[in-house]
Amino acid sequence: MSDTPTTPEERHRERMQRKKALVDRKIARATLDRGVLVVNTGTGKGKSSSGFGMLARALGHGLRCGVVQFIKGTFSTGEEAFFRRVGGELLDYRVMGEGFTWETQDRARDVAAAQVAWAEAARMLADPCYGFVLLDELNIALARRYVALEDVLAALAARPPRQHAVVTGRGAPDALLEAADTVTEMRLVKHAFQAGIKAQKGIEL
């Protein structure tokens, strides 16, 4: 019992040492060096924002990056302006579609736009020059069967081994979750929209 910590500082130090040892062991075990497939799904906010945050990170590390936005949200031009301005040569940024489908109300046009977007995405996923590919709201296109799930799974599985891919959107299909390395469900706890606050320029509520 002689080495039992007695002060709060000692107890804190011991607790933190145990945590550090645990994390160090996990890091030592994590030896596979390859690109990861990340899926952000669920009904909460932050799925796309998180994807764009990862894009910033990838650009910060000098990776060549590709972005395909499968749904052009009416409030989401801010990131596009910013990333186009700063991404420069490192970034290919494609926006497909013409607003949410309930704005167009024309399924044939939606399908055609999604197919064009998917062709661009497939090109990026096959090109080892891209270190990071963000497929924003692809899950929506999958859920509406605008893009074939088997094509997406095949392209993701065959992508260059060091390439990272991020897929966002609610309702990710089970087979995509299965294929993913990291899956986060963004769960809506509370939304400013529900409280009657207007969509704000400069932020995603």
Site residues for a copy of itself, 76-115, by CB under 8 A, read 76-83, 85-86, 100-108
Beta carbon nearer to a copy of itself, 1 or 81: 81
Sign, CA torsion 114/119/125/131: negative
Radius of gyration of the chain (CA): 21
Backbone phi, psi, residue 133, to 5°: -130, 125
Backbone phi, psi, residue 143, to 5°: -60, -35
The answer to whether 126 and 155 have CB atoms below 8 angstroms apart is: yes
Query: For helices 47-60 and 77-87, what crossing angle results, to 10°?
Result: 10
Contacts to a copy of itself from residues 46-75, by CB under 8 A: 46-63
Residue of 131, 137, 138, 155 interacting with a copy of itself (CB under 8 A): 131
Shortest separation between residue 116's beta carbon and a copy of itself, angstroms: 19
Tell me which residue of 55, 61, 57 sits closest to 92, measured CA to CA: 55
Shortest separation between residue 25's beta carbon and a copy of itself, angstroms: 12
Contacts to a copy of itself from residues 161-200, by CB under 8 A: 164, 166, 177, 180-193, 195-200
Residue of 6, 32, 89, 161 interacting with a copy of itself (CB under 8 A): 32
Beta carbon nearer to a copy of itself, 155 or 180: 180
Beta carbon nearer to a copy of itself, 2 or 8: 8
Q: Which stretch binds a copy of itself (CB under 8 A): 38-46, 113-121, 122-130, 150-158?
A: 38-46
* Tokens representing residue 117 in the block: 């977007």
Contacts of 56 (CB under 8 A, 6+ apart): 83
Number of residues that bind a copy of itself (CB under 8 A): 91
Residue of 20, 129, 151, 154 interacting with a copy of itself (CB under 8 A): 20
